[in-house]
Amino acid sequence: MALADKLRGIATTKIDQYGVLGSWTKDATAVNVPGSGTVTTTVDPNSPYSLKMTPPQKITRYIDGEVVYTEDFNVTISGAQLFTPEVGDTITLDGDIYRVLSVEAIYAGVGSAGANIIAAYTIIVAR
């Protein structure tokens, strides 16, 4: 097993151990059918997904040396998911619904199968 595979395993274990339970709902995807003039919408039949994530933490921004608090939050999920997180999806935690604004993959390196391994995703969400 490559180091990258082990790193993803560690990230997944720690998020599962200390994270909070929430759900992830995939946004419906609209696809333009070439030549037909129609748009089809597909919905992930497995959505919503139940998963563990770090508790939402308020994001602090600095503007001209001053601390500015926003209504945006940061959560982290494991890279070992059955779906790919995307902007526009939503998460639900304790009855609160958050919209995904940004998704950033944290890469662990190249795994034993030769592919890049994502250890976790850092997600920016807003209510």
DSSP β-ladder status, 20-25 and 66-78: unpaired
Count of structural domains within the chain: 1
Per-residue model confidence as pLDDT tens digits over 96-127:
999 998 899 999 888 777 788 899 999 999 88
Cis peptide before 48 (omega within 30 of 0): yes
Give yes or no for a contact between 24 and 37, defined as CB atoms under 8 angstroms apart.
Answer: no
Question: Span 8-23, mean pLDDT?
Answer: 89
Domain of 57 in residue numbering reads as: 3-126
Write the CATH number for 106.
2.40.10
In DSSP terms, 57 is beta-bridged to: 74
In the prediction, which pLDDT does 67 show?
Answer: 65
Tokens 């982290």 correspond to 76
Higher-scoring residue by pLDDT: 62, 74:
74
